[in-house]
Amino acid sequence: MNYSKILNQIELELKEFPNNGKVASYIPELSKVDPEKFGIHLYCISGSNHSFGNSTERFSIQSISKVFGLTLAMQLLGDSLWKRMDVEPSGNAYNSLFQLERENGIPRNPFINSGALVISDILISEYENPKDEILKFVRRISGKPTIDFDEKVAQSEKQHGHRNTALANLMKSFGNIKNEINQVLDVYFYQCSLAMSCEELAKAFMLYANEGTLLESNEQLLQPIKVQRINALMQTCGFYDEAGEFAFRVGLPGKSGVGGGIVAVHPEKYSAAVWSPKLNQKGNSLLGMEALERLTTKTGLSIF
């Protein structure tokens, strides 16, 4: 497969693409990004790398980080984790409250905000210093010790995180948050503020494309069954109320964030990260989805 040629074609084609998406502004710090940034990085299991555009520039990965939080919680708790949240697509926006009320404070899945807040709560209960553990894990799987939280983004979200505060309080009223609300929000906001490039994300997500084994060192970090489950959740819940659309158009497990990043994995073939900050109405990168759709169409490879 000539991935470089395919990426060149996609880059050329998308120069003409009418991108009428909008940069997220409900976290004010995120609205400062240049909306025209666009980059992609493809990391193949053979070890070859292909990219174009702003693929080495770090951006706010936001909800993509929920995959890392989930991985740590699965390692810590095993199956008892699923008493605290479900594994069903929500069919609702990532920050929706009403389903949570109806379902007694049990989030539909770990990739909507309520689910990720429960994961933060678990990490606080299990680790002495959860933020350090998140950083340690991400640095390890990406091989980049310089990856860090973006303090400004974390503070900006803290000041405007009214919905997340509401979600955490609602779950606390049902007994599904054990620690102090402010502590839980703090871990959640810092996790969301992680800044990474497409290149670093593609490398980190190779863990999920390579059955839980780090490609370069051949070290098995995660059991294959856990990776299969995480990929299943990315497939069914990674794009909120657009998970069906992503499966239909792209056909890969993946996860998006409101910073405009999307990472998708083709198990045993590659991981691909794309960044374009302008979002569609469901909060997913408009150009990012388009680029990944063209990638799976042109390669003719899909998991289905």
Least CB distance to ligand GLN at residue 170 (A) = 15
Least CB distance to ligand GLN at residue 288 (A) = 13
Is the Cβ of residue 115 or residue 257 nearer to ligand GLN in the bound state?
A: 257
| Complete edge-to-edge strand list for the sheet that includes strand 49-53 | 49-53, 39-44, 270-275, 261-266, 254-256
Least CB distance to ligand GLN at residue 59 (A) = 12
Least CB distance to ligand GLN at residue 283 (A) = 5
The answer to whether the CB of 27 falls within 8 A of the CB of 160 is: yes
The answer to whether the CB of 63 falls within 8 A of the CB of 297 is: no
- What is the DSSP secondary structure assignment for residue 220, as one 8-state letter? B
Question: In a 10 Å sphere around its CB, with 0-12 CB exposed, 13-18 middle and 19+ buried, how is residue 111 labelled?
Answer: buried
Does 156 help bind ligand GLN (rule: CB under 6 A)? no
Find the binding residues for ligand GLN in span 212-271 (CB under 6 A): 257-258
d(CA 92, CA 192): 20
Which residue in the set 113, 197, 231, 236 belongs to the binding site for ligand GLN (CB under 6 A)? 113
Instruction: Count Cα neighbours of 119 within 13 Å in the Cβ-side half-sphere.
Output: 30
Is the Cβ of residue 142 or residue 156 nearer to ligand GLN in the bound state?
A: 156
Tell how far CA 30 is from the center of its chain. 16
Q: Is 46 a catalytic residue?
A: no
Does 157 help bind ligand GLN (rule: CB under 6 A)? yes
Does 90 help bind ligand GLN (rule: CB under 6 A)? no
Nearest partner of 223 among 213, 209, 237, judged by Cα? 213
Which residue in the set 51, 55, 62, 71 belongs to the binding site for ligand GLN (CB under 6 A)? 62
Q: What is the helix, strand, coil percentage profile of the chain, to 5? A: 50, 10, 35
Q: Is 66 a catalytic residue?
A: yes
Q: Is 197 a catalytic residue?
A: no
Q: Is 240 a catalytic residue?
A: yes
Least CB distance to ligand GLN at residue 297 (A) = 26
d(CA 73, CA 187): 13
Using CB under 6 A, count the residues that bind ligand GLN: 11
Does 176 help bind ligand GLN (rule: CB under 6 A)? no
For residue 264, the surrounding DSSP H or E stretch is strand 261-266
Does 59 help bind ligand GLN (rule: CB under 6 A)? no
Q: Which residues are catalytic?
A: 63, 66, 188, 240, 258
* Contacts to ligand GLN by CB under 6 A: 62-63, 94-95, 113, 157, 164, 192, 257-258, 283
